[in-house]
Amino acid sequence: MSDHTPLSVLIVEDEVLLAAELNYLVEEVGCRGVGHAMSSDEAIALAASLRPDLALVDVQLRDGPTGVDVARRIARDCGGVALFMTANVKRLPDDMAGACGVIGKPYSEHGVKTALTYLKACLRDGVAPGPPPAGFQLAPAWAERWGLGALQKSA
């Protein structure tokens, strides 16, 4: 990903108004919303065809608590990065299903924009620009990948 290519973002959220708000926030930070899915099958099909750089994934979708499976499939089959956006943080497995992290609901507009800006830098540069912003919990494997392993172990 170059400095000038906007990050492409798929939104996986079954609440239409929340998805619209997330799309607005995605665009506000200079990313490009590429689609919206409300169920696991729809999310996996869109991720396979659109190949987004990042997917914002809720755990509880129209077809049940299937967001964890969606994140695994996006990481494994589509080469994308998933970020959980959920009120069900405790439902996430220890490995976060391959996702780079989680933002717990309820979240603020500022929190989402700050996390997206942080992730843009991480994905563009391959290293974190510093510790993750407040409200964004980085998965241990991604902290290690982006050079924050020692920081995470001391936290």
| pLDDT tens string 143-155 | 999 998 755 444 4
Domains within the chain, CATH numbers bracketed: 8-154 (3.40.50.2300)
CA neighbours closer than 13 Å in the CB half-sphere of residue 49: 9
The DSSP-derived string for 50-102 is H--SEEEE-SSBTTBS-HHHHHHHHHHHS--EEEEEES-GGGS-TTGGG-SEE
Tell whether the model's pLDDT for residue 10 goes beyond 70: yes
Dump pLDDT digits (tens) for 23-41: 999 999 999 999 999 999 9
What are the two backbone dihedrals, phi and then psi, of residue 140, each rounded to the nearest 5 degrees? -55, -40
pLDDT in tens, 77-130: 988 999 999 998 988 999 999 999 999 999 999 999 999 999 999 999 999 999
Query: Are residues 8 and 52 in contact, defined by beta-carbon separation less than 8 angstroms?
Result: yes
Q: What is the pTM of this model?
A: 0.93
